[in-house]
C-alpha cells in the first residue's frame, strides 16, 4: 500500500481528535516543512524553541490592529508612568497581545484535556490519588502531553535559516508546540503519560521573550481543579470513549467531557 502524501490539514476531524500521528510523521520526514500554500510548519523541539525565544520572529501585523482599535488612546497608555518608568510601544504591544489571547479558554482546556488524559491512563490517576504531592509535576506533564495551545504563528523580520532551509522575511511560520512537546530527542517515551517525569522542559507556556504571562495563575488553577477532582471523585469514569473536540485546532479543547461518578 502506498504511503499517504504528507499533509498538514487542521480542518480534518481526525486530526482534531488526535493530531499526534501527523506531528510524528512531519517531525520524522520533513521537520521544517513548507506547505503548498507557502507557509512553514516546524515540529522539532529545538526549532520551535528557537522561534519562541528569537527576536527575529515577531508579530508586526498585530501592531496595526491594536493601533486601529486604540487610536490616540494607545499614546496615552504608552505615556502612563509607574514610578518614573514608561513602557515602550514594543513592550506595550507584546503585553496587550499576551492579555488578548491568554484571557480566554486556555486554562479551561488544560483542565479538560488533563482530566481526559488521566481517565484514559487510570494507573497515572491512581498514582496521583495515592500521592497528592505529585500534583505540581502532574500538571507539567499534562501540559506537555496534550497542551491547550498547540501552535503559534510568527513572521520573521529578516531572512532566517532553520534545518538547512531559508525562511524569507515575512513568511508565516507555524511552530507546533504540541509536536515539540512529543519530540523523542527531548522526552523519553514522549507518547506515554508519566506524572513523575523528571526534567520536564515542555514548551506549553512558550519560552524566552514569548513566555506566557499567565503561567503561574494557570498552574495554580489547574492544580486546584485537577487535584480536587482526583481527591473527591474516586468513581469518576468516561461516559464515552470518544468525546467530541472543538474544530479550532490551535487552541485544543473538548466540546464537552461526559463522565459518570
Give the per-residue pLDDT at 63: 57
Give the per-residue pLDDT at 55: 85
- What CA–CA distance (Å, rounded) separates 9 from 148? 18
Looking at domain 18-232, its CATH superfamily turns out to be Cytochrome P450 (1.10.630.10)
Give the per-residue pLDDT at 140: 98
Give the per-residue pLDDT at 191: 98
Give the per-residue pLDDT at 81: 47
The CB density around residue 229, as the number of other CB atoms within 10 Å, is: 19
pLDDT beneath 50, residues of the chain: 81-83
pTM over 0.85: no
Torsion over CA: 132, 135, 136, 141 (sign):
positive
* pLDDT tens figures, 72-107: 555 665 565 444 566 677 777 777 776 666 655 788
Domain locations in the chain as residue ranges: 18-232
Amino acid at each position: 500500500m502506498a504511503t499517504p502524501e504528507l499533509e498538514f490539514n487542521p480542518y480534518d476531524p481526525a486530526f482534531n481528535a488526535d493530531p499526534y500521528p501527523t506531528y510524528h510523521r512531519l517531525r520524522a520526514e520533513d521537520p521544517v516543512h513548507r506547505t503548498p500554500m507557502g507557509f512553514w510548519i516546524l515540529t522539532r523541539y529545538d526549532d520551535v524553541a528557537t522561534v519562541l525565544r528569537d527576536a527575529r520572529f515577531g508579530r508586526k501585523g498585530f501592531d496595526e490592529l491594536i493601533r486601529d482599535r486604540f487610536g490616540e488612546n494607545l499614546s496615552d497608555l504608552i505615556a502612563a508612568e509607574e514610578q518614573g518608568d514608561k513602557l515602550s510601544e514594543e513592550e506595550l504591544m507584546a503585553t496587550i497581545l499576551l492579555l488578548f489571547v491568554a484571557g480566554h479558554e486556555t486554562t479551561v482546556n488544560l483542565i479538560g484535556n488533563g482530566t481526559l488524559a488521566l481517565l484514559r491512563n487510570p494507573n497515572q490517576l491512581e498514582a496521583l490519588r495515592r500521592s497528592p504531592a505529585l500534583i505540581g509535576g502532574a500538571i507539567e506533564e499534562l501540559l506537555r502531553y496534550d497542551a491547550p495551545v498547540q501552535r503559534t504563528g510568527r513572521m520573521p523580520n529578516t531572512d532566517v535559516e532553520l534545518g538547512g532551509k531559508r525562511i524569507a522575511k515575512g513568511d508565516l511560520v507555524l511552530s507546533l508546540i504540541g509536536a515539540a512537546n512529543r519530540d523523542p530527542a527531548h522526552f523519553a517515551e514522549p507518547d506515554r503519560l508519566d506524572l513523575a517525569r523528571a526534567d520536564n522542559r515542555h514548551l506549553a507556556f512558550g519560552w524566552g521573550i514569548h513566555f506566557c504571562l499567565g503561567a503561574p495563575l494557570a498552574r495554580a488553577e489547574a492544580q486546584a481543579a485537577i487535584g480536587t477532582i482526583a481527591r473527591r471523585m474516586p468513581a469518576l469514569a468516561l461516559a464515552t470513549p470518544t468525546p467530541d473536540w472543538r474544530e479550532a485546532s490551535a487552541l485544543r479543547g473538548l466540546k464537552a467531557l461526559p463522565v459518570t461518578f
